[in-house]
């Protein structure tokens, strides 16, 4: 199918929005936002304000779930509310990135301290890792996941302009490999996530216990979800009401006072709230974590709710502020 929609200038974009029922109080301000942010980035934030009707039995590109989404907006859709939600989400991403940075650095250090005792280059050798990671070649692949992971890690270290990396590459031969306590400093969250999956279960468990998580397999699934969240934030994607693909799991947590409330809530389990819950649980175990939790709670309480939107769209349970995980000692 050939793309046939015409180019529209910002002023024409406003005309289109108004024709579809969007209230625009100040066209000059609206044009500034459309120029500075872009129509299609903002469209993710006005999507919930579009009218919906029950879907027909005939499949169509505009059908989402049980509803067909129309171009027209609901009666009280207004451009300022869209901007308020956009700005709320932008600040939310910064708050979440702050927590994810702390979690990523802590986990990388955990891995380095644990495996470094076994060998300075334990991350490169089969005997220190899970055999499925180091020996099994997945279907339609030419190499093991460990081989591909090492290629990616070595490429990142080779490209790194950080002082520690430059010093190592200057001082040692080109075929020398940095020890794990240096190598981890060049890892991104994706490398950490894949490597943690490739560790031996007993080593995963040792790290999980530090954070009062029942086992390493559960922690591995949490890390995958955190990595997805980090990628959304890093690419400036819409976060606040995002559905989750690699959602965290909650096995063996029915007795955990901070997490048990989500076990029977299928909506919360599959929305971004579940990832926020993981982050909050980590932050409770870290220095200055209480300060982060206070900032996060205050920000979520400032959500610019409207007739179409509420925090329940992000999976937040009713009266979420009263749950133990979100109650901060003064």
Q: What is the pLDDT of residues 160-189, one digit of tens each?
A: 999 999 999 899 887 789 999 999 999 999
Q: Where are the domains of the chain?
A: 10-77, 86-326
Q: What is the pLDDT of residues 272-328, one digit of tens each?
A: 999 999 999 999 988 778 899 999 999 999 999 776 889 999 999 999 999 999 998
- Residue 21 region, left (φ>0) first, then alpha (ψ -120 to 50), else beta? left
- Residue bearing tokens 């099994």: 136
pLDDT at 135 over 60: yes
Measured CA distances, 319 to 194, 275, 322, 327 (Å): 36, 18, 6, 12
- 3-class secondary structure, 64: strand
Euclidean distance between CA atoms 240 and 262, whole angstroms: 18
Residue 4: band (very low, low, confident or very high) from pLDDT cuts 50, 70, 90: confident
- Residue bearing tokens 């994607």: 237
Please state at what angle helix 145-159 crosses helix 189-197, rounded to 10 degrees: 150
pLDDT at 90 over 90: yes
Per-chain mean pLDDT for the chain? 92
Measured CA distances, 253 to 7, 246, 259, 261 (Å): 53, 18, 7, 10
Q: What is the pLDDT of residues 7-49, one digit of tens each?
A: 999 999 999 999 999 999 999 999 999 999 999 999 999 999 9
């Amino acid at each position: 199918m050939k793309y046939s929609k015409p180019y529209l200038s910002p002023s024409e974009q406003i005309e289109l929005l108004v024709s579809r029922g969007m209230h625009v109080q100040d066209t000059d301000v609206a044009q500034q936002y459309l120029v500075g942010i872009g129509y299609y980035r903002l469209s993710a934030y006005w999507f919930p304000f579009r009218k919906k009707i029950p879907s027909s039995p005939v499949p169509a590109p505009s059908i989402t779930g049980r509803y067909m989404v129309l171009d027209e907006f609901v009666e009280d859709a207004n451009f300022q509310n869209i901007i308020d939600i956009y700005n709320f989400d932008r600040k939310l991403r910064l708050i979440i990135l702050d927590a994810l940075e702390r979690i990523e650095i802590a986990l990388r250090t955990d891995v380095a301290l644990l495996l470094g005792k076994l060998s300075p280059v334990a991350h490169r050798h089969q005997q220190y890792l899970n055999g499925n990671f180091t020996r099994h070649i997945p279907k339609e692949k030419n190499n093991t996941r460990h081989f591909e992971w090492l290629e990616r890690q070595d490429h990142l270290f080779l490209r790194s302009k950080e002082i520690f990396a430059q010093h190592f590459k200057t001082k040692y031969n080109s075929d020398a490999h940095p020890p794990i306590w240096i190598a981890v400093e060049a890892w991104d969250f994706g490398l950490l996530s894949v490597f943690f999956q490739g560790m031996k279960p007993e080593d995963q468990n040792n790290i999980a216990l530090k954070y009062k998580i029942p086992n390493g397999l559960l922690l591995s699934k949490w890390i995958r979800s955190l990595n997805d969240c980090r990628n959304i934030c890093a690419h400036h994607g819409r976060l606040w009401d995002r559905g989750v693909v690699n959602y965290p799991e909650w096995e063996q947590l029915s007795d955990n006072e901070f997490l048990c409330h989500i076990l029977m809530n299928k909506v919360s389990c599959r929305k971004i709230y579940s990832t926020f819950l993981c982050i909050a649980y980590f932050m409770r175990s870290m220095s200055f974590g209480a300060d982060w939790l206070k900032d996060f709670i205050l920000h979520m309480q400032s959500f610019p709710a409207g007739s179409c939107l509420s925090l329940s769209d992000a999976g937040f349970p009713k009266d979420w502020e009263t749950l133990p995980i979100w109650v901060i000692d003064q």
